[in-house]
Structure formats: C-alpha cells, structure tokens
Amino acid sequence: MDRAQIVHENFLRRVAAGDFPAGAPPRGPLSAPEAAALYRAQCLSRALDRQSRAMQKAGQGYYTIGSSGHEGMAAVAAATCPADPAFLHYRDAAFQIARADQVPGQTVTWDMLLSFACSSEDPISGGRHKVLGARALNIPPQTSTIASHLPKAVGAAYSIGLARRRPPEHRQYAEDVIAICSFGDASANHSTAQGAFNTAGWTAYQSIPLPLLFVCEDNGIGISVKTPKGWIAANFAHRPGLKYFSCDGLDIFDTYRAAQEAAHYVRTRRKPAFLHVRTVRLYGHAGADMPTTYMPREEVEAEEANDPLLHSVRLLSESGALEPAEALDIYNDTCARVTRVAEEVVTRPRLQTADEVMASLIPPPRPCGPTNGPGAAARAAAFGPDLKAQEEPQIMSRLINWALTDLMLDHDEIVMMGEDVGAKGGVYGVTQKLAARFGPDRVIDTLLDEQSILGLAIGMAKNGFIPIPEIQFLAYLHNAEDQIRGEAATLPFFSNGQFTNPMVVRIAGLGYQKGFGGHFHNDNSVAVLRDIPGVILACPSTGADAVRMLRECVRLAREEQRVVAFLEPIALYPMRDLHDDKDGGWMCRYPAQGETLPLGSIGLHGDGEDVAIVSFGNGHYLSRQAAKRLETDGIAPRVIDLRWLSPLPEEALLNAIKGAKRVLIVDETRRSGGVAEALMALISEQTDLPHARLTARDSFIATGPAYAATMPSADSIVAAATQLVRGRA
C-alpha cells in the first residue's frame, strides 16, 4: 500500500484508540490555544501533501515533495514574526501556513493548491513552478538547488544591520527583523551551506551585526543517504560565532520553546544562531520514491510511528487544549475541505504559451526618486586632486574608479563588496581610495569566498541596496556562478516579478595580459554568462565607454531591477597607446556627468565599405590597429564595437553594417561556445553578406611568451580581412 495512505490510516486508528507515541509532557511558553492553532496548521500541511499526491495521480498536479514529518516547523513560524524574511526549505508548508495565520486576509489553502496545480493564478510564481512563498508573508520563493539560498540569507541578514544605519530608498525589511533560513540535514554538508555558516560565523566573530536564524530540519536522511547519527550536533554545537539551540521537532511545545529562545537571542544580540530541529520524514523523498527500497521496513515503520501529528494530539490532550476526538475532527474536516477546494482549483487556468512563461524573466521597473548627480562640493571633497586630473586623458582603470565614485556619491544605496576591494583598492587599483571616500559600510572587504560575495550582494539587493560586487578574476566566477545563474537571475521569474535582486557584478577578465597570469587570470570564455535568461552582459573596450556604460548599468539595476554583469578587460585597464608608442590613442577624457550609452547601442568607427569588422573588448582594440593597416593597404574597413554581449545589440549592429560589403567577426572568446557563434548565426540569418570569423582557439591560455598565441592578433585580423576582401591574405 502507498505509505501516505498507511500514515493516514495509522493516524485515524491510533487517535481513535488513544494510542500515542511516548514523549515529554507539554512544557514551555506555548499556550493551549496557540498549540491548538498550530495543530490546525499542521493538519492543513498534511492534508495538502495528501492532496498533492491525489492531484498528481489525476494528472492535475505536478509536484509531490511534501512536508509530512516536518509539520513542527509551524512552531518556528509562530515563534518568529511575519516581518522576518524567511528563506525556506521545501518541506516548510507548515511554516508558511502558520505564518499566514499571523497576517490578516490570507487565503493560504487556495494559494498553495493553485501552486500545486501550476495555475497562472498561483499568487507566488504565476504558475511557473511549485514553490513556497508569498509577498505578504516575506517568504521569497526558493529554487530546488539545495543550499544555494544560504549565502543570500547571510546577505539579507547583513543588510538588516546596514539598513538601520543607512536606509536605502527601496528598503524592504523593518528595523528589528531577523532573517530565517531553513534547510535539511543533508543540505548542511553542501559546500555552499558550509560557506554560508562560515561567513556568518566570520562576521559575528568580528561583532558585526548579523541577525540570522539558521534552522536545520534534521530528518536523518537526504533522499536515500543517511546522515551519520549525531553528525549535525557534532558539526554545529561549537562553531565560532554561531550559537547552537536544539529541540524535538515532533513536539510543538519544545520546538516553540527552542525557536523562541533562538529567535530572541538573534533578535536581541544581532548574532546568528543555529536551531537544530530533529524530525522525521514520512513517506519518502517525493511521490515516486519508495523508502522501503533502500531502508529496512522496520525503520520506515518506526519513523511512521513517530508521526508528529500523533505527538501533537497527545500534547494537546495533556495540555487541555483539545480532546483527541476534537483533534480527529479537525484532521478529517481539514482533509475534506482541502479536497473540496482542490476540485475548484483544478479548473483554474494554467500557463499556455512561451510568452506567458517568459513574462517575468525581466522584472518590472520601479519608481525611483530623482537624482541630479553629485554636487560640486561633494565631488571636490571626494575627488580632491583627482578632480583636476579629470581634465586630462586617462587610462581605463582610473576612469572606472571615478565613475564608481560619482555613482556612489549620487546613489547612497550603492554598496561595493569583494576580495581586496577596500584597503588595497583592488588587484588592479580600480577601487582605490573608495574605502577612504565612502567608509567600510559601503566598500566591504569580504572574506575569500565568491559564493558569499554574490550571496551578500543578492541579500542586500533584496533589501533595496544596489550592490556592486566584484569578482576578482573571471576564472573565479565559475565556482560561484550558480549564485547568478540559479539564484539572482531566477528570482523575478519564480516570483512573477514580486521579488527582485538588482545588482551590477563587476568582473575583471578576458585575456592578453602580457607577462602575467596564464589561464586563471586570463579566462576568455563568457558562455556561462551569455545564456542566462534576463542577465545583461556589458563589456566596454575604452575607458570612456566603460564610464558611460557603467552609468547605464547602474540605472538598469536601480530603475529596471536588472541583474547586470560588467566585464572589464584587464589588459585594457592600463592601456595608453593605440598605434604607436606614446601616441596616447587609448586614453580618454572622463565623460561629462549624464553621458551614458544605452543598452543595445554600439560603437561605430569609420564608414569603409569593404569590410565591417565586428568585435568587442580587446578584439576591438586590436581591430582598430588592424583597420589602420588595412587602410594603408587600400582596403576600406569600418570597425564596430558591440559593447553589449548579452542581449546582443542586434538591431544596432544590423544597421551599422548596412553599406558594408562583407563582415568579419573578431572574437577573443573561444571558437566553441564563443560570442562569434551567435554573431555568425545573426549575420547569416539576417543578411546576404559574405562573412567570416576569427576567434580564439579552443584552448586555455598559456603563461609566458605564448600568452596571446591562441587568440586573435592585429596581424591575424589584417590577414583575415584581406582574405575576405581579396580572396587571399
């Protein structure tokens, strides 16, 4: 028989017989009426699990990972406040239900069933996914990637403290809230989770406020792999900076007591705590999972005998809150009500078309107060002698530094974070003096963990800040990439635009650093950033463009709530000359305030008709060198700088190549998966022009004299363009 049915029948039989599992008597601060309310929430959670399975059998529901066994989480909700942002484990329906009881006007049964049915009327995801979550309950939806929500919970907790000192315009969290973050016992081992615990401890160890309650729901197993007995307590009882609390998650009185103590500690001390809730998992991981195929039947039955609902009925009876017969009526009535509501829910509309699915990929714009740019006095104070230097042409790294300064003067809610961005001013000096200009609240030297850096940014963005995190080198984005791919980019999608985390991620990258680094400091692949729906990828090639584009990127984040990656070509940071020694051809004046380059605009140099050379970043620099040589050779080129690598500025590009007879694509990223693949497809689909591509080879980058051997050079661009125009090199 189906184990869900066995658990159901056991419950009915044992309550009727007064046969309850043994446990401690009711104790602690939970009152009898409150306990009865929690029991109702537990019953509703259980009934929804049962209904989700029935709906799936009937082809009307699509998700069966349930909360059965974890219903004690209702007590954690009751012990905390609905204003506390909660980043929840997928087994926390009871938490959400109990929280909904704290907020007037909620229709939680209806809402959750809509989510099971993937109805477009599902108020949290608009029918895109079964997720827990509700705007009014401060529960953002989470992805299924276990542990990936922990870094941003740390970030959200950090933001609460910072917002007290410097409230941002779009602040979301109230003054004295705490962040709550729950997860399973197996998930606690994930390196993403371990990084988050470490970051929380590292922060608290320095007495920096971090009001964060971690809640580990320890059912002793992750799908089929058991957690060693005692592992969670052994692992977490003595972590520096992280205070440990534990409770019996089968007992709502004990869970409420411990959760209240832990939450009180976090709220009053502004320090993180770890609440270890020991629980059971009933009827396997999900609907299709049969626990008896990997666990002895006796063990499965022993867990089932410990059904937390049976514990609750005993405790309610002993506390005088409810008689078992009344509890049984509540259970049966709840099941019947859920079935009735479900019958109506399955008639509600579902998403149908691609456009409907995609409607929330890009978040809605938000109204922002006007800004007039930083005033002269503020600029003079911040820049000091640099103000005078702004009258002279400068290298890119310095111009980016000034742009960041002006943007931070203009927008108080901008906060930078990264490894070495503060005191040192970045590996390449791009963030020099920013810490002195804006202080440690706004320029944060983080610990060495890219997931934590991006998690900090996501969490702060959720609370209205505009984070500008820095990833020191593109190659080091990859160990944290899921924080952009799986987390930041998906939040508006899975919340139907109700939750957002806009930011500008600065990434130093691409190749061509002479004499430094090899592959790990010269990564020339951007494929992982280009295929993420909704994420914008910008890549300037000159200092002036970098300034104008950075201004646009901050606008896109601030006003349009977009997640932007800003890729800075390291080799061009210090570049002074273009054609000849000391010609100063690659230095630029600092663009005037208000000058920007809108998303989708391209750079066009020359109007030659023989060949349009389409490139970006270092490739654009080399193409400009090549163009001069081609002209000398009697070939008339025009050179186009793409600037925006995702989405590609297709319209502007097609306009810019009008009148050219051929197109040469110069792409410093790899031949496979590189930007040129998309450009070749675009040109061949949209034009009849002969076209060719010059790309980097499918290789990693070498150190030493061959540092640029695998990538396009001015020579190879000249050769490829000549070949395309004249049929020979």
Contact footprint for ligand TPP (CB under 6 A):
91, 144-146, 183-187, 217, 219, 221-223, 281, 285
Contact partner, 144, from ligand TPP, Mg ion, none, Cβ < 5-8 Å per class? ligand TPP
Nearest-angstrom CA–CA distance, 173 and 164:
10
Nearest-angstrom CA–CA distance, 93 and 345:
18
- Cβ neighbours for 419, distance < 8 A, ≥ 6 positions apart: 445, 446, 447, 448, 453, 470, 472
From 182-190, 260-268, 307-315, 354-362, give the range in contact with Mg ion by CB under 5 A: 182-190
DSSP codes, 381-416: HHHTTHHHHTTS-B-HHHHHHHHHHHHHHH-TTEEE
Q: How far is the CB of 331 from ligand TPP (least distance, A)?
A: 23
Q: How far is the CB of 49 from ligand TPP (least distance, A)?
A: 13
Q: How far is the CB of 220 from ligand TPP (least distance, A)?
A: 8
Q: What angle do CA 110, 111, 112 make, to 5 degrees?
A: 95
By CB under 5 A, residue 184 contacts Mg ion: yes
Whole-Å CA distances, 304 to 2, 25, 102, 664: 13, 21, 30, 67
By CB under 5 A, residue 69 contacts Mg ion: no
Task: Tell me which residue of 596, 600, 644 sits closest to 620, measured CA to CA.
Answer: 644
Based on CB atoms, which residue is closest to ligand TPP, 222 or 649?
Answer: 222
Q: What is the DSSP letter of 487?
A: I
Task: Tell me which residue of 214, 204, 211, 196 sits closest to 266, measured CA to CA.
Answer: 211
Backbone angles phi, psi at 48, to 5 degrees: -65, -40
Pairing of strands 414-418, 466-471: parallel
By CB under 5 A, residue 284 contacts Mg ion: no
Tokens of 667: 């792409």
Q: How far is the CB of 295 from ligand TPP (least distance, A)?
A: 13
Tokens of 281: 């998992």
Based on CB atoms, which residue is closest to ligand TPP, 141 or 712?
Answer: 141
What is the amino acid identity at position 426?
G
Based on CB atoms, which residue is closest to ligand TPP, 188 or 460?
Answer: 188
521 is catalytic: yes
127 CB-contact burial (10 Å; exposed 0-12 / middle 13-18 / buried 19+): buried
Nearest-angstrom CA–CA distance, 683 and 138:
47
> 180: helix, coil or strand?
strand
Spot the catalytic one: 89, 521, 620, 691.
521
Nearest-angstrom CA–CA distance, 538 and 549:
8
Q: How far is the CB of 284 from ligand TPP (least distance, A)?
A: 10
Beta strand spans in 544-676 (E): 563-569, 603-605, 611-615, 637-641, 644-646, 663-670
* H or E stretch covering 505: strand 503-509
The residue of the chain with the least Cβ separation from ligand TPP equals 184
Q: How far is the CB of 155 from Mg ion (least distance, A)?
A: 25
Nearest-angstrom CA–CA distance, 630 and 620:
15
By CB under 5 A, residue 185 contacts Mg ion: yes
Q: How far is the CB of 66 from Mg ion (least distance, A)?
A: 13
Backbone angles phi, psi at 179, to 5 degrees: -90, 145
Torsion of CA 97, 100, 105, 109, to 10 degrees: -10
Pairing of strands 443-445, 414-418: parallel
Whole-Å CA distances, 583 to 393, 575, 576, 577, 586: 12, 11, 8, 5, 8
By CB under 5 A, residue 219 contacts Mg ion: yes
Based on CB atoms, which residue is closest to ligand TPP, 307 or 552?
Answer: 307
Tell me which residues touch Mg ion (CB under 5 A): 184-186, 219, 221-222
Q: Give catalytic residues, as residue numbers.
A: 521
